[in-house]
Amino acid sequence: MKIRKAVIPAAGYGTRFLPASKAVPKEMLPIVDKPTIQYVVEEAVEAGIEEILLVTSKGKESIENHFDFDMELETVLQKKEKQDLLERVRYVSDLISIHTVRQKIQKGLGHAVYCARTFVGDDPFAVLLGDDIMYSDQPVIGQLIEHAEKTGCPVIGCQEVSPENISKYGSVEHSQRSGRRARVTNLIEKPKPEDAPSNLAVLGRYVLTPDIFEILADTPRGVGGEIQLTDAIKTLAERRQVEAYDFQARRYDVGQIQGFLEATVEFALRREDVSREFQSYLEELLDDLN
């Protein structure tokens, strides 16, 4: 099993970030000076992905434009001898081959992934959700790809969450847990804490096989009236072995304002060019507030 293709669903409305997301896709909101979608694409590239499909929707053209060449901008930067900025702009457009398809009607994550069936064909593929930004030594999707290539099984990325937070995610019922992996026996999308089979939550990274599309085509609407990817993977696990992998990373839920702010502060503090001055500002601010 070799994974060279990735799908990034980016068709949501981003209602938690209104009014900012009314005209600007939430995927283009910056963490320091990079849009969130770029962090996700870079993770895929670092893991060896060679082609990416962005599943977008109406009004998301700026995402595609971000990864395209902008000759006018490059010419201006070149004339002004702003070589550093020119290199950063070219880096983005040279990152990887990007394809797009529109999810014309938003029917949920499962339907968004189903929109990728022509792009994927008969190949196994990765799925990376844009609301989850990861900071890790090894790319998270790379950790899952490595496990999938060893086992030949579909893999879902997971971490333990607190009981009160499991209702935000898919909960994994599992067996044969050993180290960081376990066999998936059941999945429940956004259960009440008392109904969750475990606190092992599905968190935005997957390696899937193309037989998921046949299942998605027949998956009825579930929680929230949407076609849930979790429901389709549950069916897949009834037909073949599916693995849960407890990945190593600091994860940020940038689909929530709190997670977005945490990511902004922590990524800024990791940046050599801004961290010292920014840290001094934060220390002064805390002193003033106290």
pLDDT tens string 6-26: 999 998 888 899 899 988 999
Give dist(CA 280, CA 186) in Å, integer.
Answer: 48
- Tokens, residue 130: 């844009």
CA distances from 134 to 157, 208, 282 (A): 12, 20, 23
33: Cβ–Cβ under 8 A, 6 or more apart, which residues?
Answer: none
CA 9 to chain centre: 8
Q: Which residues pair with 90 in a beta bridge?
A: none
pLDDT digits (tens, 9 = 90+) for 197-227: 999 999 999 999 999 999 999 998 888 888 9
27: Cβ–Cβ under 8 A, 6 or more apart, which residues?
Answer: 10, 14, 35, 36, 37, 60, 63, 130
Residue 32 region by backbone torsions, left for phi larger than 0, else alpha for psi between -120 and 50, else beta: left
pLDDT digits (tens, 9 = 90+) for 28-69: 999 999 999 999 999 999 999 999 999 998 889 999 999 988
The CATH number of the domain covering residues in 5-255 = 3.90.550.10
Residue spans per domain, the chain: 5-255
pLDDT digits (tens, 9 = 90+) for 221-273: 888 888 989 899 999 999 999 999 999 999 999 999 999 999 999 999 999 99
- If DSSP states are collapsed to H, E and C, what string results for 92-109? HHHCCEEEEEECCCCCCH
pLDDT at 154: 96
